[in-house]
Amino acid sequence: MRAAYRGVEFDIGDWHREDSVVTRAYRFALDPTPRQARDLARHAGASRVAFNWGLAAVKANLGQREAERSYGIDASALTPAFGWSLYALRKAWNQVKGEVAPWWPECSKEAFSSGLDQLARALKNFAESRDGKRAGRPFGRHGGCQSTPL
């Protein structure tokens, strides 16, 4: 295989593949002003608030539905399931953000969205592990892989 660089042709050999990708990483040191440091901390906190709210909402919904099943309530009459997708989490967050985080206008909406995105990915990974769709031991009661309190 031949290639050209700045008008010079050369042989790149058999090792080169057309679909190969080169990834480069750069590391930059941040030196924020006190105001910028406060804003960075605020946005990181906003992400955690949204993540924790979403996780609590999902767990409360699962607990409610489990309790209703134990009372013998028919499946069609159960509390509606809480969506685990980013879309569903963002839609629910937008309905309650004024109560949960009254300071939300001070932060970028993407700060909250990133926390919800991380939660949606974590819940998807959890469900796939529990269902045996991910590599490794399944997570859950019978999978042997449990969270350990610190």
Q: Cα separation of 5 and 111, whole Å?
A: 42
**139 in a structural domain:** no
Specify the number of domains making up the chain: 1
Does residue 14 lie in a domain region?
no
Predicted local confidence at residue 37, as pLDDT: 94
Taking residues 1-19, report their average pLDDT. 61
Average pLDDT taken over every residue of the chain: 84
* Domain boundaries, position 71: 34-129
* 3-state SS, residue 107: coil
Place of tokens 């804003």: 39
Helix residue ranges, H only, 13-83: 34-70
Position 30 pLDDT exceeds 60: yes
* 64 or 148: which leads in pLDDT: 64
What is the model's pLDDT at position 4? 66
Residue type, 57: A
Q: Is residue 143 part of a domain?
A: no
Q: Which of 1-5, 10-14, 62-66, 119-123 is predicted least confidently?
A: 10-14
Contact 106, 97 (CB under 8 A): no
Q: Region 67-85: what's the mean pLDDT?
A: 92
pLDDT of residue 39 exceeding 90: yes
| pLDDT value at residue 148 | 39
∠ CA 98-104-109, nearest 5°, is 115
Q: Which residue has the higher pLDDT, 90 or 8?
A: 90
The tally of CA atoms less than 13 A away on the side-chain side of residue 72 is 0
Rounded mean pLDDT, 91-106: 95
Instruction: Give the pLDDT score at 41.
Output: 94
Do the domain assignments include residue 83?
yes
| Residue found by looking up tokens 């924790």 in the block | 52
